[in-house]
């Protein structure tokens, strides 16, 4: 079978940012959005580089909440968020991973200006950053089919090297965002991974369901 998986083309790829942001960060974000905050947005953008964890973590939470509520405010500052994605501080990297996929939906051309940098970063990126990059690239493909051919190589890399948990997540995100030959290329890698003995059966079953294929039965002597 070669039909596409039944999944929504407008799937949320914003990631796993805080569902209920801390009150302080939410309050600050609301003031930033209303224009009444002092200090302003740039203070929190600079805060991503603050050596104090309390400062960079608050800045990360505030910027995530701004991205949730009014992402266009962050569009002029995409370069800083790209840098944040590569941070060795997990909370700061998570901020970049949360905000960039959202911005890729609302300001795809501005994010695409950094596409070469983002693609080059994938190979050595942290787990947090890789997931953010995949979701950012998916957002770009959903915004315009013109990005598919430019991004298929990194999608293939992602699916080929993904750990089992990430494989399920990324198959669910990547395949519905692609069409034509890029879709076929990505799908072939996902199907090939179903035969890996180290892929846990429940995860293999989920990937098979996403692909619309039947998982091969386990021989009775290997159960």
Q: Domain ranges in the chain?
A: 23-216
**In the CATH hierarchy, which fold is given to the domain comprising 23-216?**
1.25.10
Q: What is the CA radius of gyration of the chain?
A: 19
Give the pLDDT of residue 4: 44
pLDDT band at 16 (very low <50, low <70, confident <90, very high): very low
Give the pLDDT of residue 23: 86
Is it true that the peptide bond before 39 is cis, omega within 30 degrees of 0?
yes
> Which whole number is the average pLDDT over 163-191?
97
Sorted by sequence, the CB contacts under 8 Å of residue 45 that are 6+ apart come out as 59, 63, 77, 80
Calpha distance 189→158 (Å, rounded): 10
Contact between 211 and 191 under an 8 Å Cβ cutoff? The reply is: yes
Q: Which of 53-62, 140-149, 213-222 has the lowest mean pLDDT?
A: 213-222
Give the pLDDT of residue 218: 62
Give the pLDDT of residue 21: 46
Give the pLDDT of residue 195: 87
Does residue 215 have a pLDDT over 80?
Answer: yes
- In the block, tokens 């960039």 appear at 100
> Which whole number is the average pLDDT over 176-182?
97
**Which two structure tokens, joined as six digits, stand for 29?**
């974000």
pLDDT band at 85 (very low <50, low <70, confident <90, very high): very high
Q: What are the tens digits of pLDDT across the range 62-75?
A: 999 999 999 999 99
* Nearest one of 79, 55, 66 to 33, comparing CA atoms: 66
Give the pLDDT of residue 12: 58
Q: Which of 16-25, 93-102, 127-136 has the lowest mean pLDDT?
A: 16-25
pLDDT band at 152 (very low <50, low <70, confident <90, very high): very high
Contact between 24 and 57 under an 8 Å Cβ cutoff? The reply is: no
Does residue 27 have a pLDDT over 50?
Answer: yes
* Nearest one of 201, 132, 197 to 169, comparing CA atoms: 132
- DSSP at 146: G
- In the block, tokens 């990005």 appear at 147
- For the chain, give the percent of residues with pLDDT over 90: 85
Cβ neighbours of 178 (radius 10 Å): 23
Q: Tell me the average pLDDT of the chain.
A: 90
């Amino acid at each position: 079978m070669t039909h596409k998986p039944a999944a929504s083309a407008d799937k949320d790829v914003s990631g796993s940012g805080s569902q209920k942001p801390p009150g302080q960060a939410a309050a600050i974000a609301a003031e930033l959005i209303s224009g009444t905050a002092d200090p302003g947005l740039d203070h929190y953008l600079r805060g991503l580089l603050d050596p104090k964890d309390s400062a960079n973590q608050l800045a990360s939470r505030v910027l995530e909440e701004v991205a949730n509520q009014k992402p266009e405010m962050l569009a002029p500052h995409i370069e800083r968020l790209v840098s944040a994605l590569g941070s060795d501080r997990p909370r700061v990297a998570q901020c970049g991973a949360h905000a960039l996929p959202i911005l890729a939906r609302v300001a795809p051309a501005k994010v695409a200006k950094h596409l070469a940098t983002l693609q080059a970063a994938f190979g050595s990126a942290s787990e947090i950053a890789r997931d953010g990059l995949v979701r950012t690239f998916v957002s770009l493909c959903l915004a315009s089919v013109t990005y598919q051919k430019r991004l298929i190589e990194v999608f293939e890399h992602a699916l080929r090297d993904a750990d089992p948990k990430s494989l399920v997540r990324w198959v669910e995100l990547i395949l519905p965002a692609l069409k034509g030959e890029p879709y076929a290329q990505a799908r072939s890698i996902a199907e090939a991974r179903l035969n890996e003995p180290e892929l846990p059966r429940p995860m293999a079953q989920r990937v098979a369901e996403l692909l619309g294929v039947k998982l091969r039965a386990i021989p009775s002597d290997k159960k």
